[in-house]
């Protein structure tokens, strides 16, 4: 989906954190694959086998179901129809000087100037214009339906402050809000933040949009928790340059020997599930607790049950998105398959919901990689890091869920990924999981190279 947004030239290197959020990024090379990995390069081939997942039969079920249509209400249909009248931004005449001026007026200081347009020679401006023009926001089709359902929920059950914001928003307005009103940085259990207004602080996000909200954390200026959760599905994709090899301590230092690195490619930011903060964001769907999963909080009803309260209707939005009911704490017991241990002793971790959260991000990455590589007439080399597997992690099995889900999506989408040559997993603790192995290949008769190769680089520590 294309919206009206201001996205700068992001010449960040090819594995790094973007602000406080972990990102996955991908690149493609000049006709031949560039492989940056260690260990044996012997090739292993894999075919789909009828072996049940460690996480049970429910985990094995394909989701989203192939060919499933998005269900729209009358409210959603009307908002979607308004998008037909939205013109895409004109990118045929990018003024680099105006772009630099806008960047110079950015209210927050950049971490380094080495990646900024202002640091580039003028003879590079034509290429920079193309990179600026290539930037756009992108969401999964199911997320489009989720955004519409969220807006309908807020327009029906919102308080006075919320109605002032949401009643007049179009879908593209909402996407722009998710891009423009997010924090510059937002991290830690106490929600330490930096805003575009340069205000710094911690906590207070639970009060945004309520009678208890206080400046600078006002709904008109900053995303509330519900919106931060939604914005995690929204990526920005663009052509870019790579300054160095992207190591964890790269500090934006320019690599002078260009033969040692890939100099250009495509970057797409992905955000993992933030499970470090209890009772908000993805925690609400994936972690089952005695305090959170109560009737008072809207839990325990079937997917299609009538929801006539604000809390129950909000849970309905997410149940219909994931196509999974939610549970009261007393209804669930650990079974070593779908329901496993969480970091907190009495919490229960829903492995299937974690899989579905990953699926949306992985499909977005794979299909966008395919589209970008196809447009360039090249094979994509996708470099993947473990989004949400660092300080946001809430269960030891999350890395296994991550890798197994990615393998599922690769196999299901394989016939469509004819321009994806390699998927390289970096900074993982596992060297393999299931049929996803270092030096392997998922074979496909439709692929020009016979299939998609996979590599895994093991980290020495958990991020």
* Domain segments of the chain as ranges: 17-89+137-182+226-275+355-458
Polymer length in residues for the chain: 463
CA distance 424 to 406: 12
Q: What is the pLDDT of residue 460?
A: 45
Distances in Å between the Cα of 135 and the Cα atoms of 4, 9, 92, 95, 138 are 10, 8, 13, 15, 10
Q: What are residue 191's phi and psi, to 5 degrees?
A: 55, 55
CA distance 165 to 147: 15
Q: What secondary structure does DSSP assign to 168-206, as a single string?
A: T--HHHHHHHHHHSS-SEEETTTTEEE-TT--EEE--GG
Q: What is the mean pLDDT of residues 215-238?
A: 98
CA distance 452 to 414: 8
CA distance 363 to 346: 32
CA distance 311 to 300: 12
**Cis preceding linkage at 216, omega within 30:** yes
As given in the structure block, the two tokens for residue 298 are 């809207």
Q: Is pTM, for the whole model, over 0.95?
A: no
CA distance 405 to 360: 10
Smallest CA-to-CA distance from 75 within 165, 162, 148 is with 148
CA distance 108 to 144: 31
What interhelical angle do 310-322 and 141-157 show, nearest 10? 170
Which is more confident, 109 or 18? 109
Q: Integer distance in angstroms from the first to the last C-alpha of the chain?
A: 32
What one-character DSSP code corresponds to residue 312?
Answer: H
Q: What is the pLDDT of residue 459?
A: 65
Evaluate if residue 206 carries a pLDDT over 80: yes
What one-character DSSP code corresponds to residue 87?
Answer: P
Q: What are residue 74's phi and psi, to 5 degrees?
A: -60, -40
What one-character DSSP code corresponds to residue 447?
Answer: S
Q: What is the mean pLDDT of residues 135-151?
A: 97
CA distance 238 to 241: 10
For tokens 């207070």, the residue is 204
Residues 6+ apart with CB under 8 A from 98: none
CA distance 298 to 306: 11
CA distance 310 to 288: 20
Evaluate if residue 336 carries a pLDDT over 70: yes
Question: In sequence order, what E strands does 304-443 have?
Answer: 339-341, 348-350, 380-385, 420-428, 432-433, 436-437, 440-443
Distances in Å between the Cα of 64 and the Cα atoms of 274, 310, 350, 373, 448 are 22, 27, 17, 24, 27
Which is more confident, 33 or 124? 124
Evaluate if residue 16 carries a pLDDT over 60: no
Smallest CA-to-CA distance from 228 within 209, 214, 241 is with 209
For tokens 């805003």, the residue is 195
Give yes or no for a contact between 228 and 281, defined as CB atoms under 8 angstroms apart. Answer: yes
Which is more confident, 199 or 66? 199
Q: What is the pLDDT of residue 18?
A: 27
CA distance 374 to 233: 23
Tell me which H or E stretch contains 137: strand 136-138
Specify burial of residue 266 (Cβ count, 10 A radius: 0-12, 13-18, 19+): buried
Cα 84 from chain centroid? Answer: 26
Q: What is the pLDDT of residue 9?
A: 25
| Mean pLDDT, all residues of the chain | 88
Evaluate if residue 5 carries a pLDDT over 90: no
- pLDDT tens-digit series, residues 259-306: 999 999 999 999 999 999 999 999 999 999 999 999 999 999 999 899
- pLDDT tens-digit series, residues 227-239: 999 999 999 999 9
Give yes or no for a contact between 385 and 26, defined as CB atoms under 8 angstroms apart. Answer: no
CB atoms within 10 A of CB 42: 8
Evaluate if residue 50 carries a pLDDT over 80: no
């Amino acid at each position: 989906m294309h919206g009206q947004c201001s996205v700068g030239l992001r010449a960040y290197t090819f594995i790094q954190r973007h602000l406080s959020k972990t990102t996955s990024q991908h690149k493609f090379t000049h006709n031949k694959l560039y492989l940056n990995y260690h260990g044996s390069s012997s090739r292993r081939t894999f075919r789909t086998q009828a072996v049940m997942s460690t996480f049970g039969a429910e985990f094995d079920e394909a989701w989203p179901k192939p060919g499933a249509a998005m269900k729209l209400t009358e409210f959603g249909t009307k908002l979607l129809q308004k998008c037909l009248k939205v013109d895409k931004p004109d990118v045929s005449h990018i003024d680099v000087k105006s772009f630099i001026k806008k960047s110079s007026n950015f209210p927050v200081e950049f971490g380094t100037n080495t990646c900024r347009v202002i640091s580039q020679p003028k003879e590079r401006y034509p290429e920079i214009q193309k990179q600026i023009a290539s930037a756009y926001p992108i969401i999964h089709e199911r997320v489009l339906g989720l955004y519409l359902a969220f807006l309908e929920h807020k327009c029906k059950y919102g308080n006075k402050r919320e109605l002032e914001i949401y009643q007049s928003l179009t879908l593209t307005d909402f996407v722009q809000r998710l891009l423009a009103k997010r924090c510059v940085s937002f991290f830690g259990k106490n929600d330490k933040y930096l805003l575009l207004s340069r205000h710094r602080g911690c906590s207070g996000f639970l009060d945004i949009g309520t009678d208890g909200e206080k400046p600078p954390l006002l709904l008109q200026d900053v995303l509330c928790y519900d919106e931060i959760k939604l914005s995690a599905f929204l990526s920005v994709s663009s052509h870019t340059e790579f300054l160095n090899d992207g190591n964890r301590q790269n500090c934006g230092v320019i690599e002078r020997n260009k033969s040692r690195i890939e100099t250009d490619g495509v970057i797409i930011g992905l955000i993992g599930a933030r499970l470090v903060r209890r009772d908000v964001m993805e925690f609400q769907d994936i972690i089952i607790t005695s305090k959170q999963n109560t009737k008072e909080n809207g839990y325990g009803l079937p997917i299609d049950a009538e929801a006539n309260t604000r809390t129950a209707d909000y849970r309905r939005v997410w149940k219909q998105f994931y196509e999974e009911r939610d549970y009261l704490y007393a209804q669930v017991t650990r079974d070593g398959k779908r329901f496993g241990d969480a970091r907190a002793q009495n919490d229960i971790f829903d492995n299937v919901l974690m899989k579905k959260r990953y699926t949306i991000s992985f499909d977005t990455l794979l299909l966008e990689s395919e589209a970008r590589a196809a447009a360039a007439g090249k094979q994509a080399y996708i470099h993947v890091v473990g989004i949400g597997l660092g300080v946001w992690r809430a269960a030891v099995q999350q890395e296994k869920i991550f890798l197994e889900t990615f393998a599922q999506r690769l196999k299901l989408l394989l016939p469509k990924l004819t321009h994806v040559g390699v998927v390289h997993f970096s900074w993982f603790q596992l060297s393999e999981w299931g049929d996803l192995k270092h030096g392997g290949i998922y074979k496909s008769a439709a692929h020009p190279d016979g299939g998609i190769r996979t590599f895994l680089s093991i980290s020495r520590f958990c991020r």
